[in-house]
Amino acid sequence: MAGRRVNVNVGVLGHIDSGKTALARALSTTASTAAFDKQPQSRERGITLDLGFSCFSVPLPARLRPGPEAGAGAGAGQLQFTLVDCPGHASLIRTIIGGAQIIDLMMLVIDVTKGMQTQSAECLVIGQIACQKLIVVLNKIDLLAEEKRQAAIDKMTKKMQKTLENTKFRGSPIIPVAAKPGGPEAPETETPQGISELIELLKSQASIPTRDPSGSFLMAVDHCFSIKGQGTVMTGTILSGSVNLGDSVEIPALKVVKKVKSMQMFHTPVTSAMQGDRLGICVTQFDPKLLERGLACTPESLHTIHAAIVSVKKIPYFRGALQTKAKFHITVGHETVMGRVMFFSPAPDQFDCEPLEETFDFGKEYLYQEQYLSKDSTTAEEDKKSDQPVEKWPKQQWALLEFEKPVTCPKLCLVIGSKLDTDIHANTCRLAFHGKMLQGLEDKNYTETFLPKLKVYKLKHKEGLVERMDLTLTPRSF
Ligand SMILES: Nc1nc2c(ncn2[C@@H]2O[C@H](COP(=O)(O)OP(=O)(O)OP(=O)(O)O)[C@@H](O)[C@H]2O)c(=O)[nH]1
Ligand SMILES: [Mg+2]
Residue with the smallest CA separation from ligand 1 atom 13 is: 19
Closest CA to 84 of 40, 129, 34, 130: 130
- pLDDT the model gives residue 415: 94
Cα separation of 357 and 266, whole Å? Answer: 36
pTM of the model: 0.82
- pLDDT the model gives residue 42: 30
Q: By CB neighbour count within 10 A (0-12 exposed, 13-18 middle, 19+ buried), where does 111 fall?
A: buried
The string over 283-304, giving b where at least 16 C-beta atoms fall within 10 Å of a residue's C-beta and e elsewhere, is: beebeeeebebbbbbbbebbbe
Give pLDDT tens digits for 4-20.
678 899 999 999 899 99
Closest CA to 14 of 71, 91, 89: 89
- Ligand 1 atom with the shortest distance to the CA of 183: 3
Mean pLDDT over 177-190 rounds to 89
For ligand 1, the distance from its centroid to the CA atom of residue 18, given in whole angstroms, is 5
Can you state the angle between helices 20-33 and 195-205, rounded to 10 degrees? 90
Is the CA virtual torsion 152, 83, 219, 335 positive or negative? positive
For ligand 2, the distance from its centroid to the CA atom of residue 97, given in whole angstroms, is 15
Residue with the smallest CA separation from ligand 1 atom 4 is: 183
For ligand 2, the distance from its centroid to the CA atom of residue 184, given in whole angstroms, is 13
For ligand 1, the distance from its centroid to the CA atom of residue 147, given in whole angstroms, is 23
462 or 255, which is more confident: 255
For ligand 2, the distance from its centroid to the CA atom of residue 454, given in whole angstroms, is 45
Report the length, in residues, of the chain: 478
Answer whether 23's CB lies under 8 Å from 109's CB. yes
Cα separation of 468 and 453, whole Å? Answer: 31
For ligand 2, the distance from its centroid to the CA atom of residue 14, given in whole angstroms, is 9
Q: Is it the case that residue 74 has pLDDT exceeding 60?
A: no
Q: What is the 3-state secondary structure (H, E, C) of the chain?
A: CCCCEEEEEEEEEECCCCCHHHHHHHHHHHHHHCCCCCCCCEEECCCCCCCEEEEEEEECCHHHCCCCHHHCCHHHCEEEEEEEECCCCHHHHHHHHHHHCCCCEEEEEEECCCCCCHHHHHHHHHHHHHCCEEEEEEECHHHCCHHHHHHHHHHHHHHHHHHHHCCCCCCCCEEECECCCCCCCCCCCCCCECHHHHHHHHHHHCCCCCCCCCCCCEEEEEEEEEECCCEEEEEEEEEECEEECCCEEEECCCCEEEECCEEEECCEEECEEECCCEEEEEECCCCHHHCCCEEEECCCCCEEEEEEEEEEEECCCCCCCCECCCEEEEEECCEEEEEEEEEEEECHHHCCCCCCCCCCCCCCCEEEECECCCHHHCCHHHHHHCCCHHHCCCCCEEEEEEEEEEEEECCCCEEEEECCCCCCCCCCCCEEEEEEEEEEECCCCHHHHCHHHCCEECCHHHHHHHHHHHHHCCHHHC
Mean pLDDT over 457-475 rounds to 50
397 or 78, which is more confident: 397
Best probe residue, ligand 1, of 16, 21, 143 (max atoms within 8 Å of C-beta): 21
Residue percentage of the chain with pLDDT more than 90 = 49
Best probe residue, ligand 1, of 12, 17, 142 (max atoms within 8 Å of C-beta): 17
Q: Is it the case that residue 376 has pLDDT exceeding 60?
A: yes
For ligand 2, the distance from its centroid to the CA atom of residue 13, given in whole angstroms, is 9
Domains of the chain: 5-61+76-205 (3.40.50.300), 218-297 (2.40.30.10), 303-374+393-457 (2.40.30.10)
Mean pLDDT over 132-147 rounds to 97
Give pLDDT tens digits for 401-430.
999 999 988 888 899 999 988 776 777 889
Ligand nearest the Cα atom of residue 139: 1
- pLDDT the model gives residue 471: 38
- Ligand 1 atom with the shortest distance to the CA of 179: 31
- Partners of 273 in beta bridges: 243
Residue with the smallest CA separation from ligand 1 atom 12 is: 17
Best probe residue, ligand 1, of 12, 120, 156, 180 (max atoms within 8 Å of C-beta): 180
Q: What is the largest CA-CA distance in the chain?
A: 75
Ligand nearest the Cα atom of residue 14: 1
Place 470 in a pLDDT band, splitting at 50, 70 and 90: very low
For ligand 2, the distance from its centroid to the CA atom of residue 413, given in whole angstroms, is 27
Least trusted range by pLDDT, from 75-89, 197-211, 307-321: 75-89
Cα separation of 149 and 98, whole Å? Answer: 36
Best probe residue, ligand 1, of 12, 20, 120, 156 (max atoms within 8 Å of C-beta): 20
Residue with the smallest CA separation from ligand 1 atom 21 is: 17
- Residue list, ligand 1 pocket, CB within 6 Å: 14, 16-22, 87-89, 139-140, 142-143, 178-184
For ligand 1, the distance from its centroid to the CA atom of residue 183, given in whole angstroms, is 7
